[in-house]
Every structure is written in C-alpha cells, then in structure tokens.
Amino acid sequence: MKVIALILAALAGTASAADCGPDKLNTSRTLILKREGAAYGVPQHGPLPLQKGEVVLTFDDGPSPQNTPLVLKALSEQCAKATFFMVGQNIGQQPDLARRVVSEGHSAGIHSDTHANLTSLSAWQQLEDLKRSRAIYKTTFGVETPAYRFPFLAETPVTLEALKQANITVASVDLGINDWIPEDTTAILAQRLKDSLDKTGGGIILMHDANGPTAQALPTLLQVLKDKGYKVVHLEWQ
C-alpha cells in the first residue's frame, strides 16, 4: 500500500507540473534570503534584488477561514507562490489553515500578534506583542519566523531593533491596491493594480488574504500580471 501511495503521489506531482504550462502566470524563480535583520521595500527601505518586470506577491492579515482558501485556490490555478504575513492571534485560531498555506509551497512571516498600530503602544507592549507572535509562529510551524511586516507599515525604533537582534527580515512594500474598502469591486482592484504597476514597474505587492473582495478578485489580478508580462518571484529564507 505504501508503494501504491508513493506512485500515486508521484503521478499527482507530475500532473500538477504539467498543468503549469505557458498559459499560466507561474513562478519564474525563487529568491532565497539570509535569515538576518535586513529590511526591504521602498520608500521605507532599500529594494529587493529584483529584475525589471518582477513582482513578489504578499498577503497580510490572515489566515482567514472564509477568504484564505479562495486565495490559495487562485494561486494554485496560476502556479504562483506568495508570502503570507499572518496575524499571531489568527494563526492561533486557524493553525491548520496556517500550516496549509506553507504546505502548498508558500512562505509565511508574521504581521504582529494583534494587528495594533505599534506607534500607539509602549515599548514594553510592543516587545510583548512581538514575543507572542513569534511564540505562536514557532508552535505552529516548528521554526522561528524569518520575516515580519508592521501593521499599517507603522514602524517603530523599538520593534525594528528587536527584529534586527533576532535576525528577522522586515518586509515593507513597493506597491499596493488599497484593498480594504468593503465596497471594492474586482474591476476597481484590477485598475488599481494596473495603475500601481505602471508607476513602479514591479516590486513587492501588498494585498490582503483576509479581505473578501481581494479573494474574489485574485484570479483577475493574477491575469493582469500575466497580461502585462510580469514575472513572479517567490521569497524564501535560508
């Protein structure tokens, strides 16, 4: 039975690879970063070492039981890999879904424990929030988190220094689609993506897998990237 299972798994892998043809967006390459206290994403920090026309797909605020599965489905259908910056409390509530994200080949970082604006917290509160989010990440995935994105991109000296000391990469963004308005439609989000790409030419894209309109629009957004000739780069850490 084990032999049969291995054969079926191999066949499934072959079929999956065969599905990732030129008609899909695909993942063009994987960029493996060191586990260090680096920081990327303009205008807050320096750029990732990307080539012209390359993008990195990132999603914040999950995992969401309603929306993250839709995001994973859309990514799978286009053979595209992304990085998910997860809220610690959401990981604690949805550990199986969090692990599913990684099991499907995506990478994961943390996005604080409570999604508070850290600039409104004391130094002690900031460090406690980081401590809790790192702990639930390690409990869930069995490893230390490699990367962190600040809620609202509101960086603070206290947390920046703590991340640097812990060799955790800070991931800011290069472009976004402002996808947090409940009334947004797929057409609106697609146009925002087109406009942002025209301004920046690529880079780290911020989206939200906890947002319903984003999850619904993602097949269209990925098609926009393909139609405009962009290449997806997947982030991993050593």
129 included as an active-site residue: no
| Four-point Cα dihedral 116, 118, 123, 127, nearest 10 | 60
Nearest Cα to Cα of residue 149 among 124, 118, 104: 118
Cα 182 to chain centroid, rounded: 21
CB-based contact 232:28 (threshold 8 Å) = yes
127, amino acid identity: L
With a CB cutoff of 8 Å and minimum separation 6, the contacts of 25 are 78, 79, 80, 222, 223, 225, 226, 232
CA distance 1 to 179: 47
CA distance 207 to 227: 19
23 included as an active-site residue: no
* Residue tagged active-site, from 60, 61, 184, 209: 60
* Residue tagged active-site, from 129, 208, 209, 234: 208
Q: Which residues are catalytic?
A: 60, 208
